[in-house]
Amino acid sequence: MQQKIIILDFGSQTTQLIGRRVRELDTFCEILPYNKFPKNDPSVIGVILSGSPFSVYDKEAFKINLDEIRGKYPILGICYGAQFMSYTLGGKVEPAETREYGRANLATFDKENPLFKGFEENSQVWMSHGDTITLLPDHFKVIASTDKVKNAAYQAEGEKLWGVQFHPEVFHSVQGTQLLKNFVVDICGGKQDWSAASFVDTTVAELKAQLGNDRVILGLSGGVDSSVAAVLLNRAIGKNLTCIFVDHGMLRKNEFKNVLHDYECLGLNVIGVDASEKFFKDLAGVTDPEQKRKIIGRDFVEVFDAEAKKITDAKWLAQGTIYPDRIESLNITGKTIKSHHNVGGLPEEMHLQLCEPLQWLFKDEVRRVGRQLGMPEHLITRHPFPGPGLAVRILGDITPEKVRILQDADDIFIQGLRDWGLYDKVWQAGVILLPIKSVGVMGDERTYERAVALRAVTSTDAMTADWAHLPYDFMAKVSNDIINKVKGVNRVCYDISSKPPSTIEWE
Ligand code: XMP
């Protein structure tokens, strides 16, 4: 049985980071909404309570019945999690005299406490709180303090229950990973046995048992997630997997042909459907970004559905949904702000059961699994690419000619990034075709042609991003090549906006 740590999410922005850190310890974990603790699950070995945007005394604050977990599992409360346990069990939490955000140092800590094994003097931690624990319950003892925060960490005496006011999951808590390791490995007994190889073995066995002789359909996008899902399923059920790869005409230059070839080399049973004409026809004259997305989504489902219906005995629809697509992050009102976007176009009338073998993995874990499966590196390290493709990078209406111009410019940029060894240093990159023309001069001739913007960002999850600081020499070369080689373009700009407040894509 795969052991797991449960992280209960009280709505903090850093909950996902806690998950990342635990996974980096090669221990499996699940992030669940605060009120969804799994009853009677023997694989649970410990519980972490996250931070929250609430104060414990807010009327709407998220609360749980601690009795359900206390004494049954080791518990670590982080920030709000620590305040909540302290407050609920008889302590006092009050607004701090000065709100504390940023670096602090553990001026004193209990060297004997297992939570601080390996800690150095004055270890730097990251604080982010407006409230502070002013009084601990009777049987709690302080195990660390900073200059400003007396109760920076505590343990309930005689219990495996700890609370820390700081955030061990963030990078700036220098020994934060050590603290989480102390909790997960030493205190909870996590075996650190999650590896790509063990994942592949267990998942292939599970898929064989789950799917038996059933036929499965999977939509390939050319991206990492659906490709890894396909190769994994192929290993489990071979020819009973049929993959469908739809060309909506807005892919990168030669992408349909190249990726199809890659898939065939991987031994996948794949049907390539060139539906670009239909998409171009339906998109003609449409300028509104959301309208474009809707048309592409609808057409995609129609094309996929028509193809899938030909496989009359299919019982399952497989998807490359990964964990960040599924995690329900809570906002202050308790509403779900992000959930399961990958399932968007699922053709419901197909009556297929859903199979999502990567649903518990983070992106870098998917890549590790891909490598384990022997997939080529260029498929594994591919940049993310939006589902509607170049359609959201052509501002204004879409024509085959505009797609051609954009494909050519994009190809120069992306190939340039590869040639200069920059491709793996950026999260994603692309070119945007702007809906303006400007004056230029080529030879002795005045030109009046299009402008394109290059976009390259660094990021870890696409939620926030910074513009990539690419070398000037590189940009000069790319700009020159685009203007000289791509007919119809006479101006190249570089987008230097970060997200937020901008977004990665322009539409
Ligand atoms: P933004 O532009 O919101 O993009 O900063 C964040 C990430 O999502 C991708 N993206 C999309 N992916 N369908 C998709 O499948 C879409 O409509 C879409 N819009 C943006 C974007 O490329 C980036 O990786």
How far, CA to CA in Å, does 245 sit from each of 11, 307, 394?
A: 37, 10, 23
Rounded distance between C-alpha atoms, residue 19 and residue 362, angstroms: 9
Protein residue with least CA distance to atom 9, ligand 1:
386
Whole-number pLDDT of residue 65:
97
Q: Is 499 a pocket residue for ligand 1 (Cβ < 6 Å)?
A: yes
Ligand 1 neighbourhood includes 95 CB (under 6 angstroms): no
Report helix, strand or coil for 329.
strand
The atom number, within ligand 1, closest to the CA of 502 reads 5
Output the CA 275–ligand 1 centroid distance in Å: 22
Sheet containing strand 353-355, strands side by side: 270-274, 241-247, 215-220, 314-318, 353-355
Bigger pLDDT: 342 vs 59: 59
Which range, of 49-58, 149-158, 202-211, 358-367, averages the lowest pLDDT? Answer: 358-367
pLDDT at 333 over 50: no
Ligand 1 close to Cβ of residue 480 (< 6 A): no
Test site for ligand 1: of 319, 325, 505, most ligand atoms within 8 A of the Cβ: 505
Structure tokens, 417:
């990034």
Task: Report which protein residue has its CA nearest ligand 1's atom 6.
Answer: 462
Is there an atom of ligand 1 within 6 Å of 388 CB? Answer: yes
Q: How far is the CA of 445 from the centre of ligand 1 (A)?
A: 39
Chain segment 4-16, per-residue pLDDT in tens = 999 999 999 889 8
| Gyration radius of the chain's alpha carbons | 26
Contact between residue 50 and residue 329 where contact means Cβ atoms under 8 Å apart: no
If you measure from the C-alpha of residue 507 to the centroid of ligand 1, how many angstroms do you get, rounded to a whole number?
9
Average pLDDT rounded to a whole number, residues 224-249: 97
> Confidence band (pLDDT; 50, 70, 90) for 362?
confident
Count other Cβ atoms within 10 Å, centred on residue 21.
Answer: 25
- C-alpha 344 – ligand 1 centre gap (Å): 14
Centroid of ligand 1 to alpha carbon of 386 (angstroms): 5
Cβ(386) to ligand 1 under 6 A? yes
Task: State in Å: Cα 506 to ligand 1 middle.
Answer: 10
Please calculate the CA angle 43-45-46 and round it to the nearest 5 degrees. Answer: 135
Closest CA to 366 of 165, 179, 231: 231
The CA distance from 432 to 441, in Å, is: 22
pLDDT tens digit sequence for 363-413: 889 999 999 999 999 999 999 999 999 999 999 999 999 999 999 999 999
Residue nearest atom 12 of ligand 1, based on CA coordinates: 386
Average pLDDT over residues 486-507: 95
Q: Do residues 4 and 31 make contact, with C-beta atoms less than 8 angstroms apart?
A: no
Counting from 1 in the atom list of ligand 1, the atom nearest the Cα of 385 is 22
Q: Tell me, using a 6 A CB cutoff, whether residue 462 lines ligand 1.
A: yes
Across the range 128-141, mean pLDDT stands at: 94
User: At 68, phi and psi to the nearest 5?
Assistant: -65, -25
Tens digit of pLDDT for each residue in 424-465?
Answer: 999 999 999 999 999 999 888 999 999 999 999 999 878 788
> Atom 4 (ligand 1): residue with closest C-alpha?
504
Q: Is 113 left (phi over 0), alpha (psi -120 to 50) or beta?
A: beta
- C-alpha neighbours within 13 Å on the C-beta side of residue 89: 22
* Distance (Å) of CA 205 to CA 44, 241, 372: 22, 16, 16
> What tokens appear for 264 in the block?
């065939």
Instruction: Check pocket membership of 428 for ligand 1, CB cut-off 6 A.
Output: yes
Identify the CA nearest to 185 among candidates 445, 444, 5.
5
- How much of the chain exceeds pLDDT 70, in percent? 95
- HSE-CB at 76 with a 13 A cutoff on CA atoms is 28
Residue matched to tokens 């104060």: 55
Closest atom of ligand 1 to CA, residue 341 = 15
| CB-ligand 1 contact for 293 (6 Å cutoff) | yes
Q: Which band of pLDDT confidence, cut at 50, 70 and 90, is reported for residue 349?
A: low
Model pLDDT, residue 277: 97
Average per-residue pLDDT for the chain? 92
Ligand 1 atom nearest the C-alpha of 505 is 2
- Using the atom order of ligand 1, give the atom closest to the CA of residue 503: 5
Check whether 20 has a pLDDT greater than 90: no
Return the percentage of the chain with pLDDT > 90, whole number. 82
Can you point out the beta strands (E) in 250-307? 270-274
341 confidence band (pLDDT: 50, 70, 90): very low
Are 34 and 76 in contact by the 8 Å Cβ rule? The answer is: no
Residues 89-98 have a mean pLDDT of 91
Binned at pLDDT 50, 70 and 90, residue 347 comes out as: low
User: What pLDDT shows up at residue 336?
Assistant: 44
Q: Which atom of ligand 1 is nearest to the CA of 465?
A: 5
Asked if residues 432 and 452 have their Cβ atoms less than 8 Å apart, the reply is: yes
Atom of ligand 1 nearest to the CA of 506: 2
Which of 226, 321, 504, 506 for a ligand 1 pocket mutation test, highest count of atoms within 8 Å of Cβ?
A: 504
Determine the atom of ligand 1 nearest the C-alpha atom of 293. 17
Per-residue 3-state assignment (H helix, E strand, C coil) for 88-135: HCCCEEEEEEEEEEEEEECCEECCCCHHHCCCCCCCEEEEEEEEEEEE
- In the reported structure, the alpha carbon of residue 42 is separated from the centroid of ligand 1 by a whole-number distance in angstroms of 38
| pLDDT tier at 469, thresholds 50, 70, 90 | very high
Calculate mean pLDDT across residues 234-254.
97
From the CA of 432, how far away is ligand 1's center (Å)?
14
**From the CB of 503, is ligand 1 less than 6 Å away?**
yes
State whether the beta carbon of 387 lies less than 6 angstroms from ligand 1. Answer: yes
Q: What pLDDT shows up at residue 160? A: 98
pLDDT at 22: 94
Query: Residue 477 has what DSSP assignment?
Result: H
Q: Is the CB of 384 under 6 A from ligand 1?
A: yes
Q: Which residues are catalytic?
A: 79, 167, 169
Q: Are 164 and 152 in contact (CB under 8 A)?
A: yes
User: Does ligand 1 come within 6 angstroms of the Cβ of 250?
Assistant: no
- Phi, psi at 392, each rounded to 5°: -90, 5
Centroid of ligand 1 to alpha carbon of 505 (angstroms)? 6
Largest CA distance in the chain: 87
